[in-house]
């Protein structure tokens, strides 16, 4: 069956695919989205939304971080807590997937389920769907197939107790001893979530510090917070191997130590979902991990074929993926609406506590020879944080010495991923510390920490 010609065919129904389709349809284009799964959402719903919901449910159901304040909390067995967490996570995933499907319906986008493969002459061959095999022809094809957890050979994922990050999000029973391999955002998130659920967690990182892309001070403070809650962190661990022997499941470190585990979660790296798409035959170039190579307009090496989102590699953030897709569509159809991706995207880590960053770290400013100073406000002295019992962490501002222009914002603590956007707005308008000094903030709020971080920065200049 050959369908009528489309202006745009999107392969992949995750956040990038959904937003690309909606953007094109908004400008009057005829659009189809091909998705191999029955529900939309991709990694954002099945991974990001899932793990973030797990985080909130774990905090609520266990009273983690609050029991010591009130001397009481929910009285649930670990198994009951995990069952309710799983139920809540499934509910939110379903709600978000339904919302994405409704968005496609509202924009008049054709949804086609099945396995997609690029054909000749800008066609997409769809197999295995409810409507049988189909051939879709389009002026533009956009690849938004996302990514999957990287599976190195030395990790035996065929063992039912060795999980990648996708499988970890589906755990339906508590684990006493858990080893998480990977000190990046996903590893930190899962390690702290399972710790809140009562697991004995060891976090193994190949590098010298967690979250190597973030400000060093934030990384160190997050590790300190994890340790204070009982987590063991093994750093500079090299590339650990996993095996099952007479003593059960073990993680072997370069130091020679063997860590016993009931479950192992491997959360280190992702690979592009490009297998069986026929990219080589279509002339679409990829890198060693299967990620599609694109230019600054998100064009691939094949004419008329674009790509956006996790399938093209870092930063692999849902927020950036959606913007990349919108920009790709605008370039593809010469729509002078959105032609660049935000150069200042915030990064958020939904660990317990949260961490977020924007702009330059203190180390980056030093490396570039930019005269700078730093202002800090610790949540230990913030009234709203004291009320909530959330005194760990801080707001840290990096700013230029000569004109006080804000260069970077780094936050550790409750609601860090929300608070970061105030700094983002100021940086977009090339604002200075004066904005925070002269603004009146509601009291008590966590946002008020921005003002005191600015005052601390001015004080640092005077002390120098």
pLDDT for the residue 166: 87
pLDDT for the residue 47: 55
Examine domains 6-148+271-332 and 162-268 and report if their fold is the same. yes
pLDDT for the residue 131: 65
Please give the backbone phi and psi of residue 116, each rounded to the nearest 5 degrees, phi first: -105, 150
Q: 110, exposed or middle or buried, with CB in 10 Å at 0-12, 13-18, 19+?
A: middle
294-351: per-residue pLDDT in tens? 999 999 999 999 999 999 998 888 899 999 999 999 999 999 998 999 999 999 999 9
Return the DSSP state at 292.
B
Q: Residues in the chain with pLDDT < 70?
A: 1-3, 41-50, 65-77, 129, 131
According to the CATH classification, is domain 6-148+271-332 in 3.50.50.60? yes
Output the DSSP codes for 220-246: HHHHHHHHHTT-EEE-S--S-EEEEET
pLDDT for the residue 61: 72
C-alpha distances in Å from residue 107, one per residue of 18, 35, 73, 104, 405: 10, 17, 45, 5, 42
Return the DSSP state at 183.
-
pLDDT for the residue 133: 83
Pairing of strands 200-204, 177-181: parallel
Q: In whole angstroms, what is the distance from residue 185 CA to residue 349 CA?
A: 5
Q: In whole angstroms, what is the distance from residue 420 CA to residue 406 CA?
A: 13
18-70: per-residue pLDDT in tens? 999 999 999 999 999 999 887 776 655 555 666 777 787 777 777 776 666 66
Q: In whole angstroms, what is the distance from residue 256 CA to residue 275 CA?
A: 36
The CATH code for residues 162-268 is: 3.50.50.60
Each domain of the chain, given as residue ranges in start order, spans: 6-148+271-332, 162-268, 353-463
pLDDT for the residue 48: 63
pLDDT for the residue 415: 93
pTM (2 decimals)? 0.90
pLDDT for the residue 67: 62
Output the DSSP codes for 14-33: SHHHHHHHHHHHHTT--EEE
Which option is the CATH number for 353-463: 3.30.1360.200, 3.40.50.300, 3.30.390.30, 2.60.40.3680? 3.30.390.30
pLDDT for the residue 246: 86
pLDDT mean across residues, the chain: 90
């Amino acid at each position: 069956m050959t369908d009528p010609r489309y202006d745009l065919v999107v392969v992949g129904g995750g956040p990038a695919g959904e937003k690309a389709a909606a953007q094109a349809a908004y400008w009057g284009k005829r659009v189809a989205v091909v998705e191999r799964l029955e529900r939309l959402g991709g990694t954002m719903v099945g991974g990001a939304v899932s793990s973030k919901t797990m985080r909130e449910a774990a905090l609520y159901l266990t009273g983690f971080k609050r029991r010591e304040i009130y001397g009481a909390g929910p009285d649930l067995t670990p198994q009951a807590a995990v069952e309710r967490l799983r139920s809540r996570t499934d509910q939110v995933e379903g709600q978000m997937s339904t919302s994405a499907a409704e968005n496609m319906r509202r924009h008049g986008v054709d949804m086609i389920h099945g396995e997609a493969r690029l054909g000749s002459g800008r066609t997409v061959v769809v197999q295995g769907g409810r409507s049988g095999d189909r051939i879709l022809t389009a002026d533009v094809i956009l690849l938004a197939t996302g990514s999957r957890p990287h599976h190195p050979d030395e990790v035996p994922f065929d063992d039912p107790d060795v999980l990648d990050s996708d499988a970890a999000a589906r755990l339906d029973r508590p684990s006493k001893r858990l080893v998480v391999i990977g000190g990046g955002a996903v590893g930190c998130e899962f390690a702290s979530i399972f710790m809140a659920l009562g697991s004995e967690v060891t976090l193994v990182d190949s590098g010298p510090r967690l979250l190597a892309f973030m400000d060093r001070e934030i990384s160190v403070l997050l590790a300190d917070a994890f340790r204070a809650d009982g987590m063991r962190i093994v750093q500079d661990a090299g590339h650990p191997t996993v095996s099952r022997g007479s003593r059960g499941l073990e993680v072997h470190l370069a130091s020679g130590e063997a860590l016993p585990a009931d479950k192992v979660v491997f959360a280190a790296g992702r690979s592009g979902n490009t297998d069986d798409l026929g990219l080589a035959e279509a002339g679409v170039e990829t890198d060693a991990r299967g990620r599609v190579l694109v230019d600054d307009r998100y064009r691939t090496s094949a004419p008329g074929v674009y790509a956006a989102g996790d399938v093209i590699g870092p930063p692999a953030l849902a927020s950036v993926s959606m913007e990349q897709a919108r920009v790709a569509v605008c370039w593809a159809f010469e729509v002078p609406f959105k032609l660049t991706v935000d150069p200042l995207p915030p990064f958020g880590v939904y660990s317990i506590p949260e961490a977020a960053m924007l702009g330059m770290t203190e180390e980056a400013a030093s490396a570039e020879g930019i005269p700078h100073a730093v202002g800090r406000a610790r949540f230990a002295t913030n009234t709203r944080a004291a009320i909530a019992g959330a005194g760990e962490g801080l707001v840290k501002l990096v700013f230029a010495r000569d004109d006080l222009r804000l260069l970077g914002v780094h936050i550790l603590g409750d609601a860090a991923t929300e608070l970061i956007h105030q700094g983002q707005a100021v940086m977009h308008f090339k604002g200075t510390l004066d904005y925070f000094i002269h603004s009146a903030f509601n009291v008590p709020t966590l946002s008020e920490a921005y003002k005191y971080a600015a005052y601390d920065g001015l004080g640092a200049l005077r002390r120098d």
